Chain A
Amino acid sequence: MRTRSLCLLTVVGLLAGTSLSAGEPDPLGSVNWEGVRDYAFGTAPVVFDDKHVILDVPRKVEDGGQVPVAVRVIGLGDVREIVVLADLNPAPRAVTFHPLLAEPRLAMRIKVNEATAVRAATLTSDGVWHVSGANVDAPGGGCTTASASQSAQSWKTQLNRVQAQVWHRIDNGDRLRLRIIHPMNTGFVTNIPAFFIDHLVVKTAEGRIVAEMAPAEPMAENPTITVDLTKAGSSAQGYVVEWSDTDGNQGSAKIAPARQTLAAEGRL
């Protein structure tokens, strides 16, 4: 008898759940999915699509301050925008990327504040968001402890140092890797205000904008970013990267053209 009423309750609960939530249930079972969906996509249609949106993220990390994330979108045609989100971060959006003349893929490291669903989403020209993701187990505090350079004060002398290099991808455009010294303070640590790079563009040396992104609080300290340009977006003259942060600091740096070919991981 008791078992039966429990079953009934469960069924009623499931039905209620279905009727309350618009769209498909979250395959990751995240408690904050609906909140994140509304925050990131508003009322736009959302589909879970891990066939076309490939998210590469470790399932377990020791350092919630440096979680490697790579997103690849395949077979969706015109990709307008890629967003990376961590459901349980105090500010979930880590970056918004406009590939323009880049391939629809991006790699970087993000902060997660606790074990959370990490998602990649891409907006196609039909106005639909394609979302995939994975649950990442992490220790607490990735967004709410002071960054290493903030603690060491080293960012003050090194702020805005840029390291970058370009490689040829065989039969393809260039790969650009970029590292900018910046504490990327989230504002969620007592007495350390928010201070992070919030805009970054890559141009060819000739001045054509080929990729653009808006990093946010969860982008890891000293952002280290990998962008693959299309053939059309690549330049034999090299590149210029420009960025600005939430304090209005601006920087730019010239990057020499590619001189070597990208290594193949299978050959190392």
Chain B
Amino acid sequence: MRLAASLLAVVLMLTASVCAAAESTYHLHPQAVAKDTYVFIGDTNFFNPANGGNIVNTGFIVTDAGVVVIDTGPSLRYGQEMRRAIAEVTDRKVVKVVITHSHPDHFLGSQAFVGEAPVVSGAATVAMIRDHGQELAGNLYTLVGDVMRGTEPVVPEVFDTPAETIGGHDLHYYFLSGHTDSDVAVFDRTTGVLFTGDLVFFRRALTVPNANIPRWLDSLKVIEGIPYRHLVPGHGPVPSGRQAPAETRAYLLWIDKTLRAAVAGGLDITEIYRIKIPERFRSLAIVGEEFQRSVGQMVPRIESTALPVVGGAP
């Protein structure tokens, strides 16, 4: 009898711990970067079941009129846990959710905010999520697994407001592009915090599945012209100085130049995979893995214009 009781106790304990684990998958802890401003810093690895897709930085600004959320993470569960973590900082309502761009780790938590606040983004992001949101969610499900359960894409509303004041915070929105067809950067002039989305990566190799490198380089110039005091990159830690955009630019210039030279020099993609990454980039998180992915994405695009047309339709 006593044995049965202690067994029951063990079973109950196990159940409790399993439930607790289910309640907090991502263990999100808001990190303060400035007054009223918090970020959730994600893993710098690629998507995997262990990180549940949390490879992303999201954030929020607590204003007198309510909370402004920047990006919502990779899954419904992330969005819900993010919402709970925000509630531990403030009991104010969320009044606006800004999605920086259409990559799945940045917008698939939006369901957790529907009904509470409008979810907004740039026109090209809205079109991409409307037309391909299900595919993007499906791909991520394949990569990270069951933690995605219940996740459905939320199509944001298009917004193009250049600036507004919310609860004493002077917010400026920069409608840029280059990492994708629409990348919104959010600058809070009141605190000096700039959320760059994935236009800036820091100490983490960048990703290029939808990149337009000339436009990305132009956007980096705009970012460097913003008088920010703290920069929150899309991936990687929050830097203490202003060096992050230059780091992103250096890698972009290198990979673009190198892959173009490789195609112009006659190399096949399987040979290009073997190009050595220069010493100065080797400390970037998962640079080996991301270089391989970037080669696979960029080389066919470069080939489509670099190889001379010799016949058939012009």
Contact = CB atoms under 8 A, between A and B. Distances in A.
Given A161-B309, A254-B310, A263 B266 contact: yes
A139 B139 contact: yes
Interface residues of B, number: 32
Contact of A159 (B262, B307, B310, B313): B313
Interface string B276-314: 100000000000000011001000100110011111111
Interface in A158-184: 158-165, 167, 175, 177, 179-181
B270 A70 contact: yes
Interface string B253-287: 00000100110111111111111100000000000
B312 A268 contact: no
B313 A161 contact: yes
Contacts of A62: 293, 296
A260 B276 CA distance: 23
Contact of B307 (A57, A58, A179): A179
Contacts of A260: 265-266
A66 B265 contact: no
Given A177-B307, A262-B267, A224 B261 contact: no
A256 B310 contact: yes
A214 interface: no
Given A177-B307, A179-B307, A68 B270 contact: yes
Contacts of B261: 263, 268
Interface string A254-268: 111000101101101
B90 interface: no
A164 B308 contact: yes
A175 B296 CA distance: 21
A61 B271 CA distance: 16
Contacts of B31: none
Contacts of A224: 300, 303
Contacts of B300: 66, 109, 224
Interface centre among A109, A157, A159 (most CB of B within 10 A): A109
A73 to B, nearest CB: 15
B308 A175 contact: no
Contacts of B310: 162-164, 253-256
B68 to A, nearest CB: 33
Given A224-B303, A265-B271, A254 B311 contact: yes
A265 B262 contact: yes
Contact of B142 (A139, A160, A162, A255): A139
A58 B308 contact: no
Contacts of A139: 139, 142
B312 A159 contact: yes
Contacts, number: 107
A260 B263 CA distance: 13
A268 B268 CA distance: 13
Given A62-B293, A224-B303, A266-B276, A165 B266 contact: yes
Contacts of B314: 161
Contact of A56 (B270, B303, B307): B270
Given A56-B270, A58-B292, A62-B293, A253 B311 contact: yes
A68 B296 CA distance: 8
Contacts of B296: 58, 61-63, 66, 68
Nearest to A252: B311
Given A66-B296, A165-B307, A226 B268 contact: yes
B270 A107 contact: yes
Contacts of B309: 161-163
Contacts of B266: 165, 167, 175, 177, 260, 262-263
A58 B273 contact: yes
A91 interface: no
Interface string A173-212: 0010101110000000000000000000000000000000
Contacts of B270: 56-57, 68-70, 107
A21 B266 CA distance: 44
A266 B278 CA distance: 11
A160 B312 CA distance: 5
Contacts of B293: 62
| A-B pairs with lowest CB-CB distance, top 9 | A263-B265, A253-B311, A163-B307, A167-B266, A70-B270, A160-B312, A161-B312, A107-B268, A162-B311
12 contacts: A62-B293, A63-B296, A68-B270, A68-B273, A162-B311, A163-B308, A175-B266, A224-B300, A253-B311, A253-B312, A262-B265, A263-B267
Given A58-B296, A179-B304, 17 more contacts: A61-B296, A70-B271, A157-B313, A161-B313, A161-B314, A163-B304, A164-B307, A175-B266, A177-B268, A177-B307, A224-B300, A251-B312, A252-B311, A254-B310, A255-B310, A265-B274, A268-B267
Interface of A: 56-58, 61-63, 66, 68-70, 107, 109, 139, 157-165, 167, 175, 177, 179-181, 222, 224, 226, 251-256, 260, 262-263, 265-266, 268
